[in-house]
Amino acid sequence: MITKAVIPAAGFGTRFLPATKASPKEMLPIIDTPVIQYVVEEAVASGITDILMVIGKGKRAVEEHFDRSFELEAELEAKGRLEELAAIRAISELANIHFVWQKRMLGLGDAIRCARYHIDGEPFAVLLGDTLMQSQNGVPATRQLIDMYERYGGGCVVALEEVPQERVSRYGIISGELIGDRTYRIRDLVEKPVPDEAPSRLAIASRYILTPDIFSYIDAAPAGKNGEIQITDALRLRTADGSAMYGCRVAAMRHDIGNTFGFITTNIRYALAHDDLAAPLGDFILAEAESIRRARAGHPK
């Protein structure tokens, strides 16, 4: 049974400066809720009860968000705002949340390595703290991976997403064969291949189930650019040793909010699915779309 999850949230977030100079990108709101809260909710809905967040300098707001805020609670209670009070309290009761500091931002592999002692020999889930997975079948993306892990009796499992050929060079891409519904047996991984040399269009997509032997492969993984250690390299070494690894083409839409375009489009998508915002935002978008169409066709406004 997988009950532990690691959420790396220590990265610098340089693609989102200056907003991320002093504030964590994981705290950017989608509508009115920080991205990382959605990530925690996905973990909890997948059966996770123990979460370790990897944080670093400038990330105190993440800790505070998941802690009790007695002053705010007292204020809301005094004003009779009981609905907000319940919502605020619920955040600190979502799961058993712990924090560990990544001292130098040496990449995702290094961030995961910070969890070694907390994980204590168990398989665990990893959810990137800056990426949302919007389920398309009602089953949270992490739960889809846990189900696959249990079905195949262990082995690492990674979420996969089919990406267009021209974008493969941005991702870790797998080679392997389809062995069941949405299920791949992975033979190899390539980090950021040039499009012509990519073995497939299946990219590793921000959710993982890792077995505890991964830590020794992270130790053995070569440091790349700026001394960074990539989890893809550790997984690659593990696969080369003949250890089982599966890919699940998840029924979920991935939203990377670590870049401005992804952040804006994710907000629009979530708002269009929101009870109060869907209608007025839909009207606004239609009006804007009409003026964009006219401008592109060379008509005056």
54 makes contact with ligand UTP (CB under 6 A): yes
Task: Work out the number of other CB atoms within 10 angstroms of the CB of residue 109.
Answer: 24
Question: Residues 34, 123, 129, 172: which binds ligand UTP (CB under 6 A)?
Answer: 129
From residue 28, alpha-carbon distances to 171, 250, 263 in Å are: 23, 25, 8
Site for ligand UTP in 130-159 (CB under 6 A): 130
Token pair belonging to 218: 């992270």
Question: Residues 5, 128, 145, 221: which binds ligand UTP (CB under 6 A)?
Answer: 128
Binding-residue total with ligand UTP (CB under 6 A): 22
Residue nearest to ligand UTP (CB): 11
**Sign of the CA dihedral 119, 123, 126, 132?**
negative
Site for ligand UTP in 256-275 (CB under 6 A): 258
CA distance 75 to 287: 40
Grouping H, G, I as helix, E, B as strand and the rest as coil, residue 265 is helix
Which range of residues in 106-114, 147-155, 184-192, 193-201 is near ligand UTP by CB under 6 A? 106-114
Task: Work out the number of other CB atoms within 10 angstroms of the CB of residue 139.
Answer: 16
CA distance 162 to 165: 9
Residue closer to ligand UTP, measured from CB, 14 or 291: 14
Question: Residues 2, 13, 126, 176: which binds ligand UTP (CB under 6 A)?
Answer: 13
**Sign of the CA dihedral 252, 257, 260, 265?**
positive
Which range of residues in 90-98, 122-130, 165-173, 181-189 is near ligand UTP by CB under 6 A? 122-130
Question: Residues 5, 6, 85, 105: which binds ligand UTP (CB under 6 A)?
Answer: 105
10 makes contact with ligand UTP (CB under 6 A): yes
